[in-house]
A and B are shown apart, each in its own frame.
Chain A
Amino acid sequence: MKKNLSHKEIMAIKRVKMPEQDAQERSRNFKEVNLGLSKEQAIREAQRCLQCKSQPCVDGCPVRVRIPEFIEALAEGDLPEAAHILLADNTLPAVCGRVCPQEDQCEIRCVRGAKSGPVAIGYLERFVADWAMEHPEELPTGSTPQASGKSVAVVGSGPAGLTMAGELAHMGHSVTIFEALHDTGGVLRYGIPEFRLPKRIVDLEVTRLQNLGVTIECNIIVGKTMTLEELSEQFDAVFIGNGAGLPVMLDLDGENLKGVYSANEYLTRVNLMGAWRSDFPTPIIHGRQVAVIGGGNTAMDAVRTARRLGAERAIILYRRSEAEMPARIEEIIHAKEEGIEFILLAAPLEILGDEQGWVTGLRCQKMELGEPDASGRRRPVPIAGATFELEVDVVVNAIGTRANPLLTATAPNLKLSRKGNIETDSTGATNLPGVFAGGDIVRGGATVILAMGDGKNAAAAIDAYLNKGA
C-alpha cells in the first residue's frame, strides 16, 4: 500500500507502459489497440502520484476531474471510491480515458513529467472507468434526485449532448435527446473507429444515461423533422450540441471521381454502417493504395482504417511537417507502427482518374515551411516547380469540417459567427432566451473533452435559468 512507500520509492517507480496488440497483427483487424492495464499495473502507477497540494493536473482538465483524489483511492486499492469520484465529475470516463489528448491537458501539467514522465492519468481513468462498467453492483447507489418538474431538450447525442443530459438528469430535470442519425454518440459512433473506441463502450455509457431516466429519440433532424421553435415551445430550455458535421471539400479537379471520399463518409460507412464487417451489407471501396489528406485525428483514423481494410500502401499526405500535426501523438505513433507512410510537406493539386471515372492518382505539390500563420504554426509554402505524382486507388479527404447549417437555417434569430458557428457567452447561453449551445457547433472541430466541458458548464447555467424561472 501507498502509505508504506517512502518518497524515494515512489520516485523510483517507472511510468507504466500500456499493453498493446501487436502492431503487425492489429493492422489487419478492428480489435482495440490498447488492451488496458492490469489491476496491479494500475495501482502501481497510481502510487506514482505525489498528491500535489496545488493540483496542477486538475486545472488542465476541462471538466475538472478530481484527479489526485481518484488516483489516491486507486493507489489504496479502493476501486469503488475511485469510481465514485471519477463518475461524479465525468459523465463518459471510459470514453475520455481512451480518446482524450491527456498529453496536452492534464498530463502535460503533471509535476512528474519533467523527470520520469507524467503520471499516466489517462490510462488510470480508463482502468477505473472500465472497472466501474464491469462492477456496477459495487458502486454506491446514488440517491435518485427529486424531480424538478422542468424539461430540457438536447439536440445531438455527441459528447456535448450526452454530458449535458447526464448532468441535468442528476439535477432532477427531465431530459429528451433528439438525434438525427439512427444511433447515438455522434462522432464517438460514426467517426472514431472501433479499434480506438469500441462501440460497446459507447453503448454502455448511453445505457447508463437511460437508466438515469434520460429519453433518447433518434431519427429527429432538428431543422427538418422539428424546428428549434417547436422545441422551445415544448420544453423549458433547449441545448444545441449538433457538432460540426459538414465536410470541407478540397475543391480540386477530380474530387468527384469514384474512390474519392470525405473522411466523414469513409468513417461513417465503416463505423456506423459496419462496412468492415462481412455480415453488414454496406459497401466500401477497399483500396490497395490509399492516400488520406490531412494531419488530424480524423486523418489518422481514416488511414489506419484503410490499412485494416487491406491497403498495401496507406499514406498520410500532409502539407506541413510532423511537428505541426494536430493529431494525438499516440495516434501518430500507432499509425507508424502499423506501417502507415507519412508524406509530409506535400499538398494535393489534382486528383487523377481513368476513363471509367475511377481515381488512379494524385498530383502533389512539395511544400516548405515559411512564417508562422494566425494559428501560430509555420505556414506551408509551395516550392516552385516541385511536383510529383502518387499512384492511388482511394483518396480520403480529412482536411476538416464546419458547422452544418440544417438547424441554424431554420432559426433565423439565432446569432451565428461569420463561419456559421453558434455564438454563446461563457456560460453557453445563446442570444435566444432558454437556448444554450456547446461543443463543435460553437467551437468548430475541437475535442471530445472540450465538448463535454461545454455540456457540463452549460448544464449549470441551464439549472440556474430553470430555477430562476420557477
Chain B
Amino acid sequence: MFEVLQNDTLAPNVHRLVIRAPRIAKARKSGQFVIVHPEQGGERIPLTIADADPQAGTITLFVQAVGPSTLQIVGTPAGGSLQDIAGPLGKETEIERWGRVACVGGGVGTAVLYPLARALADADNEVTTIIGGRAKPFIILADELAEFSREVLITTEDGSLGRQGFVTNALQELIDDPERCPQAIFAVGPVPMMRAVCELSRPYGIKTIVSLNPIMIDGTGMCGGCRVKIGNETKFACVDGPEFDGHQVDFALLVDRLTMYREQEAKLIGELPPELQKKIIKVKK
C-alpha cells in the first residue's frame, strides 16, 4: 500500500498527488515514470514522476482523469492509499547543455515538462517555456515555471489567458527570432500537439525531444504492448523511452495504437454514474 499524503486540484480534473514511496523516491531520475495499480482488479496506469524527495521519501504525480482508473486515482484523498506503485521505469532524460532550449507543454503534459525544464535550466540552458491549454483554468504551473525560465509564453484556444492560439504559434515566433531561436525543443502533451511541434521544427533541423505515452501493462518490456516506431525500428516505449527524438517518431502509428480500446473505454465510461462521467476529461488522441 502506498499512502497519499497530499492531493490538490490544479485545474479541472488535474490533480497533484504526493505519495509515500521511499524506494522509488530514492532511485528516481528525471524523465522516469511509475505504474500505478490503484486496487486489486484495477488497471495498471503509467504516470510520469513529476518530482521526488528522497529525504522525505515521497514522489509527486500529476494525474488527469481520463477514464475510470485515473478517476479513481485522483479521487484518492490525503490519508487514503493506492495498492501498488512500481518504478521508477524507463530511461532518464539526457540533459545536455544545448544553449537555448524551448520547453513546450500542453495540458497535463506541462506537469511532466516542469521537472525536465528545471533540470535543463540547472544545466545552464537558457529555457523559454511555452504552455498551452484549452482555456485559462487548464493552464498549470505557470508561476513555478517562471522561476527559472527566461520567459513563459502562454497560449489558450479561447484567448482567456495569454494569447489566443496554439503553442505552435508561439514556437514559430521564437524560431523566427534569431536572438531567441532554440537549439533544442522539449515537447510534452497531447499527441496532436507533440506532432505539430515536430512538424514545425523539422524543416529547421532543430532537435526535438518528445515524451510518449502509449498503452502499456507491465512497464518492464515484458508485454511489448507499448511498441512505437522510431525511424525504421520498433522500440518499446517503457524500456527504450519514454523520451524519443520527435523527428523519428511515427506519430500516425502512435495515434492509431492509442485508439485500440476506444470502444471498450467508452463503454466503461458510459457505465459510470453521470456525475462521475462529467469529471472525465475527453482527451484528443
Contacts and interface: CB of A to CB of B under 8 A. Distances in A.
B257 A281 contact: no
Interface string B75-88: 00000000111111
B278 to A, nearest CB: 19
Given A280-B41, A281-B43, A262 B89 contact: no
B225 A224 contact: no
B222 A246 contact: yes
B88 A224 contact: yes
B41 A221 contact: no
Contact of B223 (A219, A224, A264, A281): A264
A281 B42 contact: yes
A291 to B, nearest CB: 17
B218 A181 contact: yes
B43 A256 contact: no
Contacts of A265: 217, 223-225
Interface in B226-285: 227, 229, 234, 239, 253, 256-257, 259-261, 264-265, 268
A255 B37 contact: no
Interface in B48-96: 68-69, 83-89
A220 B86 CA distance: 6
Interface string B89-119: 1000000000000000000000000000000
Chain A CB within 10 A, most for which of B225, B229, B234, B268: B225
A247 interface: yes
**Chain B interface secondary structure, helix, strand, loop or mixed?**
mixed
B140 interface: no
Contacts of B41: 274, 279-281
A245 B224 CA distance: 10
Chain A CB within 10 A, most for which of B221, B222, B257, B268: B222
A273 B222 contact: no
A227 B27 CA distance: 9
Contacts of B42: 281
Given A182-B44, A245-B220, A273-B217, A256 B260 contact: no
Contacts of B223: 247, 262, 264-265, 268
A268 B224 contact: no
Interface residues of A, number: 37
**Chain A interface secondary structure, helix, strand, loop or mixed?**
loop
Contacts of B225: 261-262, 265
Given A182-B37, A225-B86, A268 B217 contact: yes
A356 B44 CA distance: 26
A249 B44 CA distance: 23
Contacts of A261: 225
Contacts of A285: 260-261
A357 interface: yes
B224 A247 contact: yes
B186 to A, nearest CB: 23
A269 interface: yes
Interface in A254-271: 255-256, 258-259, 261-262, 264-265, 268-269
Interface of A: 180-182, 218-221, 224-226, 245-247, 249, 255-256, 258-259, 261-262, 264-265, 268-269, 273-274, 279-283, 285, 356-357, 404-406
8 contacts: A180-B86, A182-B84, A221-B87, A258-B256, A268-B217, A280-B41, A281-B69, A357-B256
Pairs A-B, 3 closest by C-beta atoms: A283-B264, A265-B223, A357-B256
Interface of B: 23-24, 27, 37, 41-44, 68-69, 83-89, 217-218, 220-225, 227, 229, 234, 239, 253, 256-257, 259-261, 264-265, 268
